Structure 1
Amino acid sequence: MAVTETIARSGPVRDGLIEESILPTQLNQRPISMLGYAWMFVGIAVIIAGYSLGAAGVGGGVPLGTVMLTIFAANLLIGAIMVLSADIGTEHGLSFAVYLRAPFGLHGTHLPAMTRGIVAAAWFGVQTYLGALALNGIGQYFLGFDNWAVWYVAFALLQVINTATGIKSVERLAALAAPAIIAISIWMYFKLEGIAQTEGINIWNFDATGEMTLVVLFIANLGFWSTLAIDIPNLTRFVRTEPGARSFFRRNRGIMLGQLVALPVTQALIAGLGAVSFIATGNWNPVEVIQGEGQGLSLIVLLVLVVLAQWSTNNSANLIPSALTFVNLAPRVINYKMAVALAGIAGTLCFPWALLDNLFVFLSYCGAFLSGIGGIMIADYYVLRRRRLNVPDLYRADGQFRYVAGFNPAGLIAWIVAGTIAALVSDYSFVIGFPMGFALYLVLMRGWVMARFAQAECTAGAGDEFLATTAGRSWVHLGQGRFDRLTPAETAGRKGREDL
């Protein structure tokens, strides 16, 4: 079926599949620059839990330099996977949850999407709690006021308002926070190295007794960002993209610096700080170490780092993904700003102060199930559909993505099987769940589902009519459930929707 036929048949919207914030972004609605996107990834990579990765390595007997190189390599690989999934955003302007309507069905999307959404909300709560503790420390120093719960509410509200204001506000915060984070992290390194020297320890020659292998360390770091790797289209749909770029590199060059340089370099440095802290004091958390010894200006600088790090990560990596899954769940009643607030509330209801005690157990099992989603997405987008997508039918209740009452059995079975097996061996979850989800989905789709439910873009003759950016066009909602692909010049005269 041609896209024009799909558009012509579309009637009034009564199915609750459309809301402004989850419509495809047009080429002239993508304000984030290459540098702005890279700054966002600097902020995303600086989280307190990241310090523990390096400490686990040196504590397991791996030299500091080898730990940092291993973590860099792992994050370079996960960054490359992000680049692959990112094309869903740069090519079609789609959010993660809406794209999942293709491999999982119009209703089936809610199961995997909400799994990721709840994890993101929980992370928001954890990081807001850590930021609130830092703000409480500043409040104690300047005001003599000690109540972290008050700071939690204030900090959560500030982040929710900032994220709800729009993607451009998120980029501005990242551009402000990232250079400050880098400068403070460098200061932290020299502070920690000084502590080690006073103890007569050479951090680069430190040799702990342990049995951790490089393979285990590598895989652990793959799983750390596997959640962001699958829903990265939520961000890349707002990165400036060259219309008509048929080359994969040209089309995605705006994201390369962020995902292939900023993420692995920053993550390696942050893990290195955790390793140095462990070597010098036996405590993997350098914030606690320096806070215990710091006073005056140095203490305030440290606490400012904590606040900026949690804030810059929460906006782009947690609040936006979680909010968009809430919108996708009930587009008729939930808009973007309301969804951001709901994500903040959900993150708080996860009781992050208690979740911290079992954070890595929680993350390992969630990562196991989310890794399978990544494999399914890559199989669906690149192998099955060859980057072509019948986008109008993603928003039609009676279109090709309805499958069986709104559920695609191939996607759901592949996800449940791959996720369950990966969870049983959670230490290796990503390298098991991802390829298993990939393979099972292709077998089930080609051998079963596609024989019953034709996919227009998968036919031999499907061409540019199912591409957007590559063809120099954007998917545009014309109202009443109707879509067309328009050039930037054709959309220039139309009233564009506001940014997120």
Structure 2
Amino acid sequence: MDTHQQQQETGAPSSREQSHLLEASILPVWKTQRTIGFWGFIWLWIGMAVIIATFQLGAGGVAGLSLAEVVAVIFLANLVLGVVMTLTADIGTEHGLSFSVYLRAPFGLKGTHIPAVSRGVVAAIWFGIQTYLGALALNGIFEYMTGFDSWITWYLVFAAVQIINTALGIRAVELLASVAAPCILAISIWMYYTLDVLAETQGINIWTFAGGEDVSVIGLFFANMAFWSALAVDIPNLTRFLKVPADAKGFCNRNRNVFVAQFIALPATQAWIALIGGVSFIAAGDWNPVSVIQAQGAGFTLVVLLLMVILAQWSTNNAANLIPAALTFVNAGAPRVSYAAALVLAGIVGTMAMPWLILNNLFTFLSYYGALLSAVGGIMVADYYLLRRRRLNVPDLFNPNGQFRFMSGFNPAGLIAWILGGSLAILFLEYAYAVGFLSALIMYWLLMKFWILPRYPQQELTSNFSEEFLASSVDRNWVFDQKQGFRRLSNADTSALQQKREDL
């Protein structure tokens, strides 16, 4: 047993002061509890990447660029963002931690709530937007079949179904994605050919079409990066459930289930959906292919199109919006706020934001919150890789008197870097992601190195980056129970403990 483990076992968190940092859904996930495999993560990403708003992204591009240029720019932007996502994903695969719990390291035990809840509210708003679009689709189907017309009713029904589905756990989310993603792809291929035929009947070649507006390649590139800036920071919420091989010492081996999903599935799907939006604009002057095809047909065509809308919103909402929102709310309200209660709260917040109004200013909304979250991404990479070298004193993330208390629960380095980096990103909005990410990364590293670390030592660093602060890569799991507190157990011991709990 290592020294750090002995120290943690002598004082198991049990007081009320300590319990506010603990709740079952935000504890580290053991390797034996990780159920998402290679194909599971690919289906999750395909399901998340099919967003109705992506159609608008493609249409905006072809207004001034060729269709091939738009597809290439969006694919490349997602490849670059995939690098950031893969770096932050390791927080989940290595330590089994959620996004908001990890932020206790760069922002402090209390400071984490400012960026984390901000992200949670944005995720909840996106849940409302997606649910509204799904409700319109449901209303369209039932109005056609029965004459019943009430999108508000279907909004409430659809919201409840999604919340229940997510509350059933990550396996239920993965199962939905594995069913929804292939269906969505099949319908999207049919949509492409339908729109291409529509363009040909008007004598338009979609690949030689040239719009007359002034569209910036750089602007389109960074707009697409802002699109996924939220998932780039909170991807550990999902990767903590990714299966990790027994020999997980190497970064590539440990994250092998991440690479294909984030470097092929995401950029390819995003570019494909944007392409359909572009073709819809070329063929009919409307970015929404659902509206275009729906206007020309009824019956089975109408039902199939609207079914795609429903599946697309549902599969995106579960993994990309409800889970992140709920976990940030649990982190802020533990132990009083359970995961199930947090999911309901996310639904309420998303609805109160009146998403049907936000849709009119969707890309302004995307640009500003993307700018702020780009700075959070820079801080996470600086903290996890440049300062801690992937080592993390996980037990102290749940200890109110541990090293992450900093200044009364706040780490000023993280907050200052976020405010300044986010402000610079907003100031240079067209290049927001690059400006926010890099400026926050540099500022955080400098503030920590020359101000915070000399005053608030971090055990990972003072131990000369000991392996006792690693988990998956050294065949260990961070395990918590009420009697013994946190322990670092081998995979074999963790499997035995899990079996013992299941037998009870």
- TM-score over 0.5 (shorter chain): yes
What one-letter code is carried by the residue in structure 1 that aligns with 2:477? S
Segment drifting more, 109-118 vs 207-216? 207-216
Unpaired segments ≥5 residues, structure 1 = none
1:42 aligns with 2:42: no
Counterpart residue number, 2:272? 269
Aligned to 1:409: 412
TM-score by length of 2: 0.97
Residue of structure 2 aligned with 1:151, choices 135, 149, 154: 154
Inter-partner Cα distance in structure 2 for 1:13 and 1:355: 43
1:444 and 2:486 aligned: no
SS where residue 484 of structure 1 aligns? strand
Question: Residue 6 of structure 1 corresponds to which residue in structure 2?
Answer: 8
Native 8 Å contact 1:3 1:390 kept in 2: no
SS at match of 2:389: coil
Q: State TM-score, norm by structure 1.
A: 0.97
**Residues 158-207 of structure 1, C-alpha deviation per residue, up to 9 Å, x if partnerless?**
00000000100000000000000000000000010111011110000001
Which whole-Å deviations, capped at 9, do the CAs of 1:65-105 have from their partners, x for residues lacking one? Answer: 11101110101111121111000000000000000000000
- Which of 256, 259, 269 aligns to 1:256? It is 259
1:160 counterpart = 2:153: no
Describe the SS at the equivalent of 1:204: coil
Correspondences of 1:37-436 after superposition (within 5 Å): 37-60=41-64, 62-436=65-439
Give the CA deviation at 1:494. Answer: 2.0
Q: CA deviation at 1:359?
A: 1.6
Q: 3-state SS of the aligned residue for 1:256?
A: helix
Check whether the contact 1:124–1:314 (CA below 8 A) recurs between aligned residues.
yes
Contact 1:181 1:305 in 2 (8 A): yes
Greater shift in the superposed pair: 417-426 or 168-177: 417-426
SS at match of 2:10: helix
The number of aligned residues is: 497
The aligned residue for residue 474 of structure 2 is 471
Task: Calculate the aligned-residue CA RMSD, in Å.
Answer: 1.3
- 3-state SS in 2 of match to 1:477: strand
CA distance in 2, matches of 1:439, 1:462: 21
Establish whether residue 461 from structure 1 lines up as the match of residue 454 from structure 2. no
Contact 1:396 1:481 in 2 (8 A): no
Q: Distance in 2 between matches of 1:120 and 1:453?
A: 33
Shift of 1:121: 0.2
Q: Is the 8 A contact 1:12 1:481 kept in 2?
A: no
With 108-117 and 484-493 compared, the bigger mean Cα shift is at: 484-493
Bigger mean CA offset, 479-488 vs 298-307: 479-488
Q: Structure 2 CA distance, aligned partners of 1:492 and 1:3? A: 19
Aligned to 1:32: 36
Identity %: 55
Q: Distance in 2 between matches of 1:223 and 1:338?
A: 29
Q: Distance in 1 between matches of 2:297 and 2:429?
A: 38
Separation in 2, partners of 1:105, 1:283: 47
Shift of 1:466: 0.2
SS at match of 1:276: helix
Deviation of 1:467 (Å): 0.2
Give the CA deviation at 1:389: 0.1
Residue 497 of structure 2 aligns to a residue whose secondary structure is coil
- Listed as ranges, the gaps of 5+ residues in structure 2 are none
The range that moved more, 290-299 or 101-110, is 290-299
Amino acid at match of 1:53: L
